[in-house]
């Protein structure tokens, strides 16, 4: 079938959201590790920040990223009328 402009817009928005969330994932993981030695100089509540990012900070960010993606995409489906029918 032929895709309408609305469909293309939906896919474009999906790609943009995916790219932004992927960038967050990348920073929380690879940039944080790369600068772990420097981040460890900062200590919050007894945790050196570089260590904390690897042990817990990055994990919390991952959970939030996935939660946000699921919520936004499920809304976007509704908005563009591509959601699935009820069971």
Q: Does 74 bind another protein (CB under 8 A)?
A: yes
- Min separation Cβ 43 and another protein, Å: 8
80 vs 9: CA distance, rounded Å: 9
**Where does residue 73 rank: exposed (0-12), middle (13-18), buried (19+ CB within 10 A)?**
middle
Which residues are near another protein by CB under 8 A? Answer: 1, 3, 7, 10-11, 14, 18, 21-22, 25, 28-30, 33-34, 36-37, 40, 45-48, 50-51, 54-56, 58-60, 62-63, 65-67, 69-70, 73-74, 77, 82-85, 87
């Amino acid at each position: 079938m032929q895709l309408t402009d609305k469909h293309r817009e939906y896919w474009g928005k999906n790609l943009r959201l995916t790219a932004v969330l992927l960038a967050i994932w990348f920073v929380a993981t690879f940039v944080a590790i790369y600068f772990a030695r420097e981040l460890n100089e900062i200590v919050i509540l007894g945790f050196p920040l570089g260590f904390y990012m690897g042990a817990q900070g990055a994990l919390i960010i991952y959970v939030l990223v996935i939660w946000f993606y699921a919520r936004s995409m499920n809304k976007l489906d509704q908005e563009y009328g591509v959601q699935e029918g009820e069971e």
